[in-house]
Structure 1
Amino acid sequence: MAAPSSTLVFKVHRREPELVRPAKPTPYEVKLLSDIDDQQGLRFHIPVIQFYKHAPSIRGKDDPVAVIRRALSETLVPYYPFAGRLREGPNRKLMVECTGEGVLFVEADADVRLTEFGDQLQPPFPCMKELLFDVPGSNAVLHSPLLLIQATRLKCGSFIFALRLSHCMSDAPGLVQFMSAIGEIARGSHAPSIPPVWERHFLSARSPPRVTHTHREYGQQASNTLTTMHHNLDSMAQISFFFGRSQLSALRRHAPPHLRQSYSRFEILASCLWKCRTVALRPGPEETMRMICLVSMRGKFSDPPLPVGYYGNTFAFAVAEAPAGELCRNPLGYALDLVRKAKGEVTEEYMKSVADLMALTGRPDFLKTRWTYLVSDVTRAGFETVDFGWGSPVYGGPAEPDVGPVPGLANFCIPCKNKEGEDGIVLAISLPTQAMERFVKELESMLKSPPNVTKTFTHVMSAL
């Protein structure tokens, strides 16, 4: 099979974008988002992409684009808020006006085969703007479609499903729930097996609101923020790293022996990346370095329990902090302890405190300073299970390696297979070119040490 190519060029023929409306009349009403949903840090659109290999559908020669369009229309009946538009009220409060206007849908054909994308599908993908067309005027947070979907047929009979979601509406598991509902109806069901639940009041501020925790994730924005590191994107490099069993095992050996098996894969990776990135950026030893981990509370609420079928945002930004000198000087166990402690602080009461803080302080953004780094784990979100009738995708998940609009600030941990078919996690790191060289050297050192651990991680560099 062809090797991955960031220079792959192909032509896409698109039909005019259309609005797909619910298949039946739906209620006209205004629904408030939760105070977790409408914080400033989620007011952007997030792209997802699914690659499906050519295979007979469950009904033979069905056209995937037609099947998905019809199933989308039927799914929008129970998920009718997605067919509405976001409005903003007093105190920047977001709400959905359930107008039934519909979601944007683009039908397309591409003169390329799936194999030409390479034998290791992972972001960044070539010609992403062709596979998910940015319909002019569609990407605003307010008064715009909440979903943009493009279904693209390939020359070989395979197809690509790409989607852009207003993040205020759902987190990754909530989006997968919606996509899976489309898949169930596409395969012949009359209704989703998990009925959608709105009930955003479960994660709304209390009356009166009371902030019971310290929330460093929403602290004072520093003046030397993003511009210092990201002022010249031409000087940035991006490397995609694959971490399989051997690489994770090598990193785990840097943890204290009696705790090695107690740390999750995410904790190991997040701590390693935080340490290597700090070494690469060369901050002053007294600079405060921040690692923000997204911690999902889905399934962890008890007072009251969050209903099954809830598809809103259910995570918090957990913050670990350390002086740069200490982070660089100490073994990995130092960072691991800080990351685990930060995650452990996110409780049910912590989430309620976040919601109260949003209501009291005008829904601030999470910290985006020069020394902040955010990692989001989507390995268990379920993108790889979404089936529209042609089986599971060969890749399913984020379409871009970075989270949000600022290169290098945040990354996804994405489930992926390498070219040998081994399951693992891929991360694409963006750093200034000289810092990237130092990052690679530091990571290679951690993967080589202790002795007799073979370095086998792969990386592919591309200019941003």
Structure 2
Amino acid sequence: MEQLVLTSVRRQEAKLVVPAKLIPRVHLQLSDIDDQEGLRVQIPFINFYSAGSHFMQSDRVDPVKVIREALSKALVFYYPLAGRLREGPGRKLIVDCTGELGILFVEADADVTLKELGVPLQPPFPYLEHLLHDVPGSDGILGCPLLLIQVTRFMCGGFVVACRFNHTMCDGIGLAQFLTAVGELARGRRKPSVQPVWERNLLNARDPPRVTCTHREYDELDVDGGAPLEDLVHRSFFFGSAELEALRQQLGRRRHRRCKSFDLMTACIWRCRTIALGLEPNEDVHVLFPVNARNKYKPFLPTGYYGNSIAFPTAITTAGMLCTQPLDYALKLVMEAKEDVTEEYMRSMTDLMVLRGRPPFLGARSFFVSDLRRIGFGDVDFGWGKACYAGIARSGFGVLHSQVMRLYSYYASGKNDKDEDGSLFLLSLPPTAMKVFEDQLQLLLNHGYHILSTL
């Protein structure tokens, strides 16, 4: 079903939601992982909810009111999210917490039903700007609200909760933890089941700092800024059990066939994307991906820690090798990069941030992909049940570092038009490159189907 271009949204003026009770007036430093250059971005997420037969379903129950009150209660526990960031010496980020600040909240109504937005719901959502209003002056990193949330009611009784968050304050797991707490409070709990833990000092550099591992993800930026954002097209691609099995059948080594879906899809997409970009055979190509490091530390980080605890291991080869070798080759590089992440790797990365002034990630030629399928967004329940779609709103967020445009791709959970569960891959590319990518991906999948049909 073709998605509706949503235009009939009536928004009220954005307002601040402040903590429901007095909070500590403090100045808190972020960790040396939090405040790196590559995380100084704002990223939008979106959750769609239908008007199901849940205990909140009633003509007298307004999701806007319920969620706004729950946010106010949640900020008592997560009060740093109501603050504002500033820089200290050496660009160190500090969050100022005062009782007068809060997060931005927008109430809205749309003259459509949830079904009119598309079946199944799949990003990219062309109407995102209507469901998540870019409040003027709110999109900076310093001195701006750390969260912007818009709740939009639909005519059918469903609604959407869209939010934009400052990545320096938390990673995806941390944001999902906060939203889960909001949902619990909306459903009547007095406090979150998981208590938030700040303790950003746990992920600060050692004294003295020392880099003991190789961190190619922070190599010098390339000078090619890539395609302007307005020249990009945005697509999502579905990988279900059939697609994954078709790819597994192409793996020469049987032990590789037991690999995780992330590794297999990333190897496949990295190869197809590199071919689509038409790079020279001797040009280096990289794939970077966040890895949750909470269980890499000994002891593990405390339950409830909601700061950034992620590494960005990197696989590197040449375009010629990646595009001419069997799929096993790319898969092996991805799997080995993940294995690099240890506690020593994390400590070394943190020390590098301090020694090199918090450098940005590799440049525009790099393929940066993040897996958001299992971090909890789909379980967020404000009283109307789980979301129809939950996760990233679209790919292709541009971040300009020294005239280099950074683009991000994502995996999200979703369904296809046959109502089958699977993974959605969100990608942004120039139009010509996107057509080549689609053709290359179909070739890989069809080759796998051909193998299956001859077994």
One of 320, 323, 326 as aligned partner of 1:331: 326
TM-superposed CA distance for 1:314, in Å, is 1.0
TM-superposed CA distance for 1:36, in Å, is 0.7
What pairs up with 1:76-91 in 2 under 5 angstroms?
76-91=75-90
2:285 match: secondary structure:
strand
Are 1:349 and 2:344 matched, yes or no? yes
One of 415, 418, 425 as aligned partner of 2:423: 425
1:449 match: secondary structure:
helix
1:77 match: secondary structure:
helix
What does residue 388 of structure 2 align with? 394
CA distance in 1, matches of 2:200, 2:230: 39
Contact 1:20/1:104 (<8 A) preserved: yes
What pairs up with 1:52-451 in 2 under 5 angstroms?
52-61=49-58, 62-100=61-99, 101-223=101-223, 225-226=224-225, 229-231=226-228, 233-234=230-231, 236-302=232-298, 304-369=299-364, 371-405=365-399, 409-450=407-448
1:50 match: secondary structure:
strand
1:195 match: secondary structure:
coil
What does residue 25 of structure 1 align with? 22
1:429 match: secondary structure:
strand
CA distance in 2, matches of 1:450, 1:54: 40
CA distance in 1, matches of 2:391, 2:261: 18
Contact 2:104/2:148 (<8 A) preserved: yes
Contact 1:447/1:453 (<8 A) preserved: no
2:77 match: secondary structure:
coil
CA distance in 1, matches of 2:164, 2:158: 21
TM-superposed CA distance for 1:274, in Å, is 0.7
Identical counterparts, % of pairs = 49
- Pair 453,11 (structure 1): closer, same or farther in 2 beyond 3 Å: farther
Compute the TM-score of the two structures, normalised by the length of structure 2: 0.95
TM-superposed CA distance for 1:129, in Å, is 0.9
CA distance in 2, matches of 1:93, 1:132: 30
User: What are the Cα deviations for residues 80-100 of structure 1, in whole angstroms up to 9, with x where unaligned?
Assistant: 001100110111100111123
Q: Could you list the runs of 5+ residues in structure 2 that have no partner in the other structure?
A: none
CA distance in 2, matches of 1:351, 1:400: 29
TM-superposed CA distance for 1:403, in Å, is 4.7
CA distance in 2, matches of 1:60, 1:410: 37
AA matched with 2:376: G
TM-superposed CA distance for 1:420, in Å, is 1.8
CA distance in 2, matches of 1:79, 1:437: 45
TM-superposed CA distance for 1:453, in Å, is 5.4
Contact 1:32/1:94 (<8 A) preserved: yes
Contact 1:28/1:99 (<8 A) preserved: yes
What does residue 7 of structure 2 align with? 10
Contact 1:293/1:317 (<8 A) preserved: yes
- Pair 320,364 (structure 1): closer, same or farther in 2 beyond 3 Å: same
Contact 2:234/2:394 (<8 A) preserved: no
Does 288-297 or 386-395 show the bigger shift?
A: 288-297
User: What are the Cα deviations for residues 394-447 of structure 1, in whole angstroms up to 9, with x where unaligned?
Assistant: 000011123554788320011111122211111122222222222122111111
CA distance in 2, matches of 1:76, 1:451: 51
User: What are the Cα deviations for residues 9-33 of structure 1, in whole angstroms up to 9, with x where unaligned?
Assistant: 3311111111010000000001111
CA distance in 2, matches of 1:72, 1:349: 37
Contact 1:416/1:425 (<8 A) preserved: yes
Contact 1:253/1:260 (<8 A) preserved: no
TM-superposed CA distance for 1:40, in Å, is 0.4
Contact 2:124/2:395 (<8 A) preserved: yes
2:290 match: secondary structure:
strand
1:397 match: secondary structure:
strand
Contact 2:398/2:406 (<8 A) preserved: no
Does 394-403 or 345-354 show the bigger shift?
A: 394-403
TM-superposed CA distance for 1:57, in Å, is 4.6
CA distance in 2, matches of 1:383, 1:417: 15
CA distance in 2, matches of 1:428, 1:138: 25
Contact 2:239/2:424 (<8 A) preserved: yes
User: What are the Cα deviations for residues 147-170 of structure 1, in whole angstroms up to 9, with x where unaligned?
Assistant: 001111101110110111000011
User: What are the Cα deviations for residues 165-185 of structure 1, in whole angstroms up to 9, with x where unaligned?
Assistant: 000011111100000000000
Compute the TM-score of the two structures, normalised by the length of structure 1: 0.93
TM-superposed CA distance for 1:79, in Å, is 0.5
2:450 match: secondary structure:
coil
RMSD (CA atoms): 1.7
AA matched with 1:359: V
CA distance in 1, matches of 2:138, 2:121: 28
Q: Could you list the runs of 5+ residues in structure 1 that have no partner in the other structure?
A: 456-464
CA distance in 2, matches of 1:232, 1:63: 37
AA matched with 1:204: N
CA distance in 2, matches of 1:59, 1:124: 29
What does residue 461 of structure 1 align with? none
CA distance in 1, matches of 2:72, 2:234: 38
What does residue 462 of structure 1 align with? none
Contact 1:4/1:120 (<8 A) preserved: no
